[in-house]
Structure 1
Amino acid sequence: MIVITEPTISRLLAEARGGLDRLTPADAYAAQQDGALLVDIRREDQRERFGAPPGSFPIDLTILEWRLDPTSPWRSTLAAPGIRPVVFCQEGFSSSLAAARLQALGLVGATDVEGGFAAWAEAGLPVAETLPERIF
């Protein structure tokens, strides 16, 4: 029998999700109400086209760790010790990989939203009238 040990995106995604306590959109909304930080890693054009949850924290995926690591000199003021980042993208794939990276950084409560923002909107959860300003 041949065992494939090479990384594939499917394997990486499964491994990332294996370490996450993924949230439904309703659970993510409840977590936000309890103080979790909703982290929007979508591209600007996606945010403009589809909207965003009120109070979400839009941040470019390329600087995610630097802005959320409480020990980073480039951290956001929102990156206080003990924060619980709940990451979402449009469909719930990139966010799983990003949340796993945040866990590897030491943010043990990091997770993502099953189905991403598309599932959030489909569930009828709030969408901001104006987009939160992106953090650079």
Structure 2
Amino acid sequence: MKSAHDLVEQARTGIREVSMIEADAAIQAADVVIDVREPDEFREGHIDGALNIPRGVLEFKLSSTPELGARDLSVVLYCKTSGRAALAAAALQEMGYMNVKSIAGGFDAWAEAGRPVIKPSLPSFD
């Protein structure tokens, strides 16, 4: 029986993960950057310009959103530590997406490297 870790490691063998050194260029070249974390995680901070499409609904959302349906889109994915993004990248490749990358280390590595993090501001109630 495979564990979640086994599934992630298996997915990593068939996807392209970009290092933190390559991440900026990959993001700049991407047609879409997708944060596959849950909405509450996204609200705590995310990469500028990223769309939040949680891992659990990713395939459905891509299938029902015409702007995201082109299989030649350049897609960069990330999650907290890169496990969900690896699984998402493998799924997108199975769906026929040809240019999918995942950020190694995920959002945690991004933030730890001192990269810019967008944190939505809360309205003032004063």
Q: Is the 8 A contact 1:67 1:76 kept in 2?
A: no
Gaps of 5+ in 2: 122-126
Q: Is the 8 A contact 1:26 1:123 kept in 2?
A: no
* 1:118 has 2:112 as partner: no
Which of the residues 49, 53, 71 maps onto 1:55?
49
Any runs of at least 4 consecutive aligned residues in structure 1 with deviations exceeding 3 A, and if so which?
78-81
Which of the residues 90, 96, 114 maps onto 2:86?
96
Q: How many Å separate the matches in 2 of 1:107 and 1:27?
A: 20
**2:96 equivalent in structure 1:** 106
TM-score normalised by structure 2 residue count: 0.83
How many residues align? The count is: 121
Q: Is the 8 A contact 1:99 1:110 kept in 2?
A: yes
Gaps of 5+ in 1: 1-5, 132-136
Q: How many Å separate the matches in 2 of 1:36 and 1:25?
A: 19
1:2-31 Cα shifts (integer Å, max 9, x gaps): xxxx33323222210000110123422211
More helix by share: 2
Q: How many Å separate the matches in 1 of 2:55 and 2:4?
A: 17
**1:39 equivalent in structure 2:** 34
* 1:25 has 2:20 as partner: yes
Pick closer, same or farther for the CA change 1:30–1:104 going to 2, 3 Å: same
